[in-house]
Amino acid sequence: MNRGTIVIDVNIQNILEELPEGVLLEAAAKTRTADEVDQAIKAGVNIIGENYIQEAESVVQVINKRVPLHFIGHLQKNKVKKAVKIFDMIETLDSVELAKEINKRASSAGIVMPVLIEINSGREPQKFGVFPEHAEDFILQVADMENLEIKGLMTMGPFTEDSEQARPYFKTTKELFDRLKRQNIKNTEMKYLSMGMTGTYMVAIEEGANIVRIGTKIFGPR
């Protein structure tokens, strides 16, 4: 066992000991090798998250369905055909046009694709995602698509070095999550709330996250 393997294993065990019951650890595997992804799975991560289709294609055989593979980057319409064949969930649905394309490609593949709605909790115009105040209308527009299954929400929040500064954005998203759950919208189950990364995941958990996406604290700096 090489040093890299030991470090990944120890890092994951330390994180898992911190996570409350019911919170899933998603390894954000952007730029990571197939060997690193394999070690993360062996060490106990619950989900692998990939930002790019090409990188996912290079590790999908290594993952070999041992854990779910989620797409966590910005998905372009011309990549959806591949995405629905590779991923078990798309966490970044943010437009009706993208929803239509996922629905179409999932229908052709004979599957129903689980998705999370990406919420732009900081209302940052340069970033992707649905503003919180538009989320319910957005979901109502896509809930009739038979080959989509809305399973919850995901947010990034504005980048910050101070985890406490992220708290209001996580709180906003959790409040939205709870409100949508009470609506009982067709084809919509508010089951997963994906929030928090290496620097902010403990605050995200305090605010209700049940999926945390961690990269650097698992694998080390890129």
CATH code at 26?
3.20.20.10
Average pLDDT, the chain: 95
Q: What is the residue range of 161's domain?
A: 3-219
> Cα separation of 215 and 222, whole Å?
9
Average pLDDT over residues 29-46: 96
pLDDT for the residue numbered 190: 97
Q: Across residues 185-208, what is the average pLDDT?
A: 96
Question: What six digits make up the tokens of 2?
Answer: 């090489």
Q: 93: which strand partners?
A: 117
What φ, ψ does residue 190 adopt, rounded to 5°? -80, 85
Q: Quick one: pLDDT at residue 5?
A: 64
Half-sphere CA count of 84, side-chain side, radius 13 A: 25
**Reported confidence tier of residue 221, pLDDT bands at 50, 70, 90:** confident
Q: What angle do CA 139, 140, 146 make, to 5 degrees?
A: 85
Number of domains in the chain: 1
Name the least confident of 42-56, 64-78, 138-152, 155-169: 155-169
In the numeric block, the tokens 């979901």 are attached to 139
Q: Which residue has the higher pLDDT, 186 or 1?
A: 186
